[in-house]
């Protein structure tokens, strides 16, 4: 299992439940046969792709009451139909939503009838929930450029709705997996204004992950009462230092979506401005999104190691982010980590071509893991270290690259994974 080590935070407690952890949220996931229908359309002889299977491919998350909602989406100029439709729905409702329908196997992108199909999925779900179509959000993932078969959704919408439950989070999290090897969900409990609040999320993603935006598909739910405006503000601020600092392979998806729904059932006074309550809420959102970010990185396609680059001493946070991401995105560095090779020159190389200002003579680099720490570079130059000790440090499945670039206040982290032989294998036959 590719589990991550979750950091503990004072005032917050990890709980079970994923997107169903907060009061008033139900979910379900099931197999509808989307891939089978795609194969049938492509192969008139009726032969199925060897990758056709009965893995869940459709899910629904629904709230008992109308929610305030916020979202961030891909910055790719080529956007999937679900992205453009969800953007329209949020604008039309002024940041309201009661349900979120998602599917895997087909991204519904670059299709002439894409938005029509996405709208039909929203309509089918909205009809079951007794709401307007515009009060539904949608996200889709899978192959780009193949027609999205709508009949499997029509055939299974009743079963999907009837199976909604307050403990259906795992079914939903599994249904959005593509090349993911593990489901990704996390939830926390905290207090605001004397009321117990809960927040939970699920994400998917293994490949085609690169900043910027809301890398991959993510659904976050909370029973904390917070306005749509402050929800969007918190999400914009947190995505910048979590999902936007994640890279697996340098390819940015067309369908990236991260949406947050808040139903207010915790009973706290609604957060409508900045202050202590907003800070507490934003920290909870950071805990959810930073943990899912690490889960996504550790489950990168073909990955064997989670890599975290921590940068300090930069002029400001923006500069630190640029440097950390530069290291994480370096293919040569990623290959070295796969081979447990302490080739620190590749780290300095990536630091050096980052579009940031710093004094190379003040750069310091350490490599760390559960097995210990090795200091490999001081003041921009190599220092003696044990290759044997370094091999042990880099042999672990979670590696920290600690980089100091000066005496500034700026600090940030970025996450990624190593680059293995299996990455090419996985992407060499992704469609077949």
Per-residue pLDDT tens over the stretch 20-50? 999 999 999 999 999 999 988 876 555 555 4
Per-residue pLDDT tens over the stretch 179-189? 888 899 999 99
pLDDT at residue 1 tops 60 = no
Distance from CA of residue 73 to its chain's centroid?
11
Distance CA 46, CA 44 (A): 5
What pLDDT shows up at residue 209?
A: 61
Long-range pairs, 406-409, Cβ under 8 A, ≥24: 406/313, 406/314, 406/315, 406/358, 406/359, 406/362, 407/313, 407/362, 408/313, 408/314, 408/315, 408/316, 408/319, 409/316
Catalytic positions, written as ranges: 215
Per-residue pLDDT tens over the stretch 266-285? 999 999 999 999 999 999 99
Mean pLDDT of 64-81: 92
What pLDDT shows up at residue 3?
A: 82
pLDDT grade, residue 78 (50/70/90)?
Answer: confident
Q: What percent of the chain has pLDDT over 70?
A: 93
Q: What is the pTM of this model?
A: 0.90
Domains with residue ranges and CATH for the chain: 13-298 (3.60.70.12), 306-428 (3.10.20.340)
Flag the least confident range among 183-192, 212-221, 356-365, 393-402: 212-221
What pLDDT shows up at residue 138?
A: 98
How do strand 136-140 and strand 257-262 relate by DSSP bridges?
A: unpaired
Per-residue pLDDT tens over the stretch 340-352? 999 999 999 999 9
Mean pLDDT over all residues of the chain? 92
What pLDDT shows up at residue 51?
A: 46
What pLDDT shows up at residue 180?
A: 85
pLDDT grade, residue 120 (50/70/90)?
Answer: very high
């Amino acid at each position: 299992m590719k589990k991550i080590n979750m950091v503990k935070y004072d005032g917050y407690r990890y709980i079970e439940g994923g997107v169903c952890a907060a009061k008033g949220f139900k979910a379900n996931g099931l197999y509808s046969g989307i891939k089978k229908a795609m194969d049938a359309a492509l192969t008139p002889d009726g032969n199925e792709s060897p990758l056709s299977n009965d893995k869940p491919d459709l899910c629904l998350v629904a709230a008992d009451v109308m929610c305030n909602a916020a979202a961030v989406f891909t910055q790719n100029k080529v956007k999937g139909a679900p992205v453009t439709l969800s953007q329209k729905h949020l604008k039309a409702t002024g940041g309201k939503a009661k349900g979120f329908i998602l599917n895997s196997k087909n991204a519904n992108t670059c299709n002439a009838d894409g938005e029509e199909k996405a709208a039909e999925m929203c309509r089918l779900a909205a009809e079951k929930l007794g709401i307007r179509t515009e009060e539904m959000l949608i996200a889709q993932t899978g192959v780009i450029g193949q027609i999205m078969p709508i009949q499997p959704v029509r055939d299974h919408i009743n079963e999907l709705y009837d199976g909604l439950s307050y403990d259906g989070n795992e079914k939903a999290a599994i249904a959005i997996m593509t090349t993911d090897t593990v489901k990704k969900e996390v939830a926390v409990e905290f207090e605001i204004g004397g009321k117990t609040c809960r927040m939970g999320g699920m994400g998917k993603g293994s490949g085609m992950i690169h900043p910027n935006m809301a890398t991959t598909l993510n659904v976050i739910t909370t029973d904390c009462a917070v306005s749509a405006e402050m929800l969007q503000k918190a999400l914009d601020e947190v995505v910048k230092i979590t999902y936007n600092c994640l890279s697996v392979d340098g390819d940015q998806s067309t369908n990236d979506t991260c949406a947050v729904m808040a139903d207010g059932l915790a009973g706290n006074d609604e957060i409508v401005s900045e202050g202590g309550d907003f800070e507490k809420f934003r920290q909870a959102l950071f805990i959810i999104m930073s943990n899912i970010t690490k889960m996504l990185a550790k489950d990168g396609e073909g990955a064997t190691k989670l890599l975290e680059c921590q940068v300090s001493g930069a002029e400001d946070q923006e500069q630190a982010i640029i440097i950390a991401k530069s290291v994480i995105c370096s293919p040569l560095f990623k290959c070295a980590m796969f081979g447990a090779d302490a080739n620190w020159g590749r780290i300095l190389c990536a630091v050096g071509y980052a579009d940031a200002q710093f004094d190379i003579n003040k750069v310091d680099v350490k490599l760390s893991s559960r097995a210990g720490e090795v200091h490999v570079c001081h003041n921009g130059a190599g220092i003696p270290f044990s290759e044997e000790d370094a091999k042990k440090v880099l042999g672990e499945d979670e590696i920290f690259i600690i980089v100091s670039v000066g005496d500034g206040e700026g600090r940030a982290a970025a996450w990624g994974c190593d680059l293995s032989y299996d990455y090419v294998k996985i992407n060499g036959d992704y469609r077949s």
